Structure 1
């Protein structure tokens, strides 16, 4: 028999917290009928000053299957918290999760910019990305370099060698899930290798707290400037942009009602 779940949670507290946060946000999105266009990341909204979406898009999911897939992979990758003896551990996990969230989101926008400006592919101007997969793919990559003998367990029965998991998962999700964001997943892999190979290094608790503080300040500032949400304590007036698409969950949460944008306008990350 396996170990009781409570012991697993105690051994992976940070992972358990992130899973709890993503699950709570998914429940809130469902309950409040919030569409992905209100929390997702797109080039168009970033240009409009909605920089806070880099954070909200990472922790938001639009379907239960999307959430379960990402959280199942994240739970398996939580082994990073137990690898303190090889230079990883919980502090490393928290510090570089912050880096992965911010840099992978910024890299996605950078790739969109190149595709739009250099290759004139206007599709990427308004495509909206949501999901935690950038971070998941980043940790897959870091673990594949730092602990290549590990395995990635999905849904409790599927096991992949971690050394091949990033690119296996990249190809698998792109084929099986048409809406899966190839660019988002690739961004997570690129940032993951940059961290694992030491190109991005030097994070400690001081820099992590400082970075978190700047993220909060920039997010609050961009919320005020964009006027995207009517938070009374921020004194923001709600602004509705009719040019932006909207997607809302209807009924039992399994049916999507869309306007102004086809299903291909959302990418799952």
Structure 2
């Protein structure tokens, strides 16, 4: 017999919390009838300043099949939390989950940029990625390097050798969920190999907390500036000082004349 579920939850606290968060977000999306285009990540919305979508897209799922696949795989990958003796463990899991969420999203946008600007494939301008797949594929890849003899269990009955799981799952997901982002999954694999091979390393509590702080700041201010959510208590003020002289050009005759004017120093108003 296997271990009781409650006991496994205690052994995988971070994984359990992430699965709970993704499930709650999915339920909220369904209840509020939110379209994937409102929370997903695309090149077009990114260049409009919707940087917060790197986070919302990762934790949002529209299809229940996609949610079940990702969470089932993530539950199996939660074994990373129990491998502290191999240099992994819960701290490693939390630190590099942050890295996978952010870098895989940035890599997806970078790939879209190359395809659009260099190869003129404007189709990718509006392709919208959504789901935790990038992170799931990243952890598959890391585990395939760190512990190649282990297995990946899906849906409780399908077991895959972890050494081949990233690319097997890439094909499998593309078949059962045709709308799944191939580039998103591939980005997770690339970032996963970068972590597993030590190309990305050195994360500790200090860097993780600092990174989380920057993520929160960018998330809030990009929400504010994009107009997606109105934070009335946050004001983004111009950096220009109204008490300083302004410089402008006047067009006269066949040339331009430099003109300086000083605003009254009696005070300023914020509109």
Normalised TM-score (structure 1): 0.85
TM superposition shift of 1:183: 0.2
**Other-structure match for 2:151:** 151
Shift of 1:229: 2.3
Gapped runs of 5+ residues in structure 1?
237-269
Residue 42 of structure 2 is matched in structure 1 by 42
Can you list the C-alpha shifts for 1:67-92, whole angstroms capped at 9, x where unaligned?
Answer: 11100000000000000000000000
| CA drift at 1:154 | 0.2
SS in 2 for 1:152: strand
1:202 partner SS: coil
> Secondary structure at the residue paired with 1:3?
coil
The equivalent of 2:130 in structure 1 is 130
* Shift in CA distance, 235/61, structure 1 to aligned 2, threshold 3 Å: farther
With over 3 angstroms needed to count, the CA separation of the structure-2 counterparts of 1:38 and 1:71, relative to structure 1, is same
Kept in 1: contact 2:66–2:177 (CA 8 A): no
CA distance in 2, matches of 1:93, 1:30: 29
CA contact (8 A) 2:137 2:192 kept: yes
| Bigger radius of gyration | 2
Q: Cα distance, 1:176 vs. partner?
A: 3.1
Partner Cα separation in structure 2 for residue 140 and residue 227 of structure 1 = 36
CA offsets per residue over residues 193-240 of structure 1, 9 Å max, x none? Answer: 00000000000011000000000001111111100124555589xxxx
What number of residue pairs does the alignment pair up?
236
Distance 1:5 1:205, change over 3 A: same
Q: Per-residue deviation at 1:35?
A: 1.1
Secondary structure in 2 aligned to 1:130? Answer: coil
Residue matched to 2:98: 98
Q: 1:166 is matched with which residue?
A: 166
In structure 2, C-alpha distance between the alignment counterparts of 1:132 and 1:178, rounded to whole Å = 16
Question: 5 Å matches for 1:171-250?
Answer: 171-231=171-231
1:177 deviation in Å? 2.3
Aligned to 1:250: none
List runs of 5+ in structure 2 lacking aligned partners: 237-271
Corresponding residue for 1:111?
111
Residue 141 of structure 1 corresponds to 141
User: In structure 2, how many angstroms separate the alpha carbons of the residues matched to 1:56 and 1:99?
Assistant: 15
Q: Looking at both structures, which has the greater relative contact order when contacts are Cα pairs under 8 Å and sequence separation is at least 6?
A: 1
CA contact (8 A) 2:14 2:90 kept: yes
State the 1:159 CA deviation: 0.1
Give the distance between the partners of 1:170 and 1:112, measured in 2 at CA. Answer: 19
1-side partners of 2:118 and 2:232: how far apart? Answer: 41
Contact 2:149 2:162 survives alignment (8 Å): yes
> What is the CA–CA distance in structure 2 between the aligned matches of 1:31 and 1:3, rounded to whole Å?
34
Structure 2 equivalent of residue 247 of structure 1: none
Q: CA deviation at 1:175?
A: 2.9
How far apart are the structure 2 equivalents of 1:235 and 1:126? 31
CA contact (8 A) 2:224 2:231 kept: no
Aligned to 1:84: 84
Asked if 1:57 is matched to 2:57, the reply is: yes
